[in-house]
Structure 1
Amino acid sequence: MRRVEMIAQGPLTRQVTGRLAVDTKGPGFSEITAEVAGFVREAGMRHGLLTVFCRHTSASLTIQENADPDVRTDLMTALDRLAPRDAPYVHGIEGPDDMPAHIRTLLTDAALTIPLVDGALALGTWQGIYLIEHRDRPHRREIVLSLVGG
């Protein structure tokens, strides 16, 4: 279940903030482009900057190709090689998938900034916005959206 909730709009500053809840299925990519674009439409702005921020340290955000799912498969394989679950990490209180999740978040990002042009996200033809779940089990992740402009 995903939801977009508008939580504040400044009447003079033209800043709108919202939240997006994303239920993940475990490790992998969840595309959130449509939900983010819906937030932008509801805000009614034509130009500005959108910040998309993930409030977690074991999940992250990226802009990637949204045409061929093999790209996301290969990216998960690369992350598995860069931060394997079976490495001898010191931090392990939350399970063997936790420290690799933190490393994967470090390698990707917690926030994205996307220009808004003529009322639409200025994404390229094949670009989509994704939440990447790095833990082994499903989670509910919160994304904060902040749009500044006019």
Structure 2
Amino acid sequence: MRSEVITVRTGSRPVVRDITQQAEQFLAGAGDGLLHVFVPHATAGLAIVETGAGSDDDVLTALDDLLPADERWRHRHGSPGHGRDHVMPAFVAPYATLPVLGGRLALGTWQSICLVDLNGDNDTREVRFSFLPG
């Protein structure tokens, strides 16, 4: 198994960041197998969604509706409403496993691998790519 960690700058606001290109770069020269993507953070997740057509903003809106950044959360350190950031990975998992065929991701036409980060307290995230040849 081959594995690599990249750093993704997410900034100080909730974001859906497309990391598909970094995944494709990691897979350069790979054959068939599986790509496992993992975010080793308690407040970030991964989603396979369309980007660039408003869907990334829709994801943030849906998460804000589902998990408002207010004072209802018992986990209270960090910025106001930070407890919701710790609940988000229960809805947006911190991992994804994708098929790789001929060294290329077998994604659908409009699908992208996206890092979802609601936590503005941390402006960078690590993402681990691991390739398991088939």
Give the TM-score normalised by structure 1: 0.83
Q: Can you list the C-alpha shifts for 1:54-81, whole angstroms capped at 9, x where unaligned?
A: 010111111101241x111121111001
CA distance in 2, matches of 1:136, 1:124: 30
8 A contact 1:49–1:115 mirrored in 2: yes
8 A contact 1:67–1:126 mirrored in 2: no
Pair 1:59-2:44 in alignment: yes
**What stretches of structure 2 of length at least 5 have no aligned partner?**
none
Equivalent pairs counted in the alignment come to 133
**Structure with bigger RCO (C-alpha 8 Å, 6+ apart):** 2
Alignment-derived partner of residue 23 in structure 1 = 9
Q: Can you list the C-alpha shifts for 1:96-142, whole angstroms capped at 9, x where unaligned?
A: 23211112221111000011011100011100111111113451100
Alignment-derived partner of residue 94 in structure 2 = 110
8 A contact 1:48–1:115 mirrored in 2: yes
Moved over 4 A (4+): none
Q: Which structure would you say has the larger Rg?
A: 1
Alignment-derived partner of residue 132 in structure 1 = 116
8 A contact 1:23–1:138 mirrored in 2: no
Pair 1:49-2:34 in alignment: yes
**What stretches of structure 1 of length at least 5 have no aligned partner?**
1-14
SS at match of 1:72: helix
SS at match of 2:27: helix
